[in-house]
């Protein structure tokens, strides 16, 4: 099976992202994943998406973050040019998994990788919902491959 075509999101490293040793602080990588999720959603739905004023998520693309993991592979510093590759690797009945790969854009060096599980959610009803088939089909078209089902 071919690899999915990821969405690539550049991440500018800010001075405030650094720890006392001049490395990007470990907690900041989860923020980089968050920025990548927004980039993926924009690539999937476009920039002119209507947002839910309560959640700030796109109407028709509501989820809650259930779990996130990050594996650190090499330190990043202020001089690095980071890029996050993000793609959906799996879809369940009510959830989907994003995979992340952060690398230095210049050297290709792997900096970190991780994944997060999102649960499709109806905030008005306060409960999870089935991931809409049309959303999964759109993800598959954008990524150029079928997404495995859990």
Q: What is the mean pLDDT of residues 116-143?
A: 97
- Look up the pTM and report it: 0.96
3-state SS assignment for residue 24: strand
Ranges 44-53, 71-80, 133-142: which has the least confidence = 44-53
Q: How many CB atoms lie within 10 A of CB 111?
A: 21
Position 1 in a domain: no
Position 66 in a domain: yes
**pLDDT of 2 strictly over 90:** no
Which residue, chain included where needed, has tokens 């650190």? Answer: 72
Give me the number of domains the chain comprises: 1
Position 14 in a domain: yes
Position 2 in a domain: no
Position 149 in a domain: no
Range of the structural domain that residue 123 is part of: 7-143
Q: What is the mean pLDDT of residues 123-133?
A: 96
Taking every pair of Cα atoms in the chain, the longest distance, rounded to a whole number of angstroms, is 47
> Looking at residue 96, which CATH number applies to its domain?
3.10.129.10
Position 150 in a domain: no
**pLDDT of 1 strictly over 80:** no
Position 131 in a domain: yes
Position 148 in a domain: no
């Amino acid at each position: 099976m071919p690899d999915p075509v990821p969405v690539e999101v550049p991440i500018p490293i800010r001075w405030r992202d650094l720890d006392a040793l001049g490395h990007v602080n470990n907690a900041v990588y989860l923020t980089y994943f968050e920025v990548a999720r927004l980039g993926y959603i924009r690539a999937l739905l476009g920039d002119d998406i209507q947002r839910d004023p309560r959640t700030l998520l796109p109407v028709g693309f509501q989820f809650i973050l259930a779990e996130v993991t990050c594996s650190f592979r090499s330190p990043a510093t202020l001089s690095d040019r980071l890029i996050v590759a993000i793609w959906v690797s799996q879809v369940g009945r009510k959830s989907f998994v994003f995979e992340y790969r952060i690398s230095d854009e210049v050297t290709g060096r792997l900096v970190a990788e991780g994944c997060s599980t999102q649960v499709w959610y109806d905030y008005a009803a306060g409960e999870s919902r089935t991931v809409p088939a049309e959303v999964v089909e759109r993800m598959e078209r954008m990524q150029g491959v079928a997404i495995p089902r859990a």
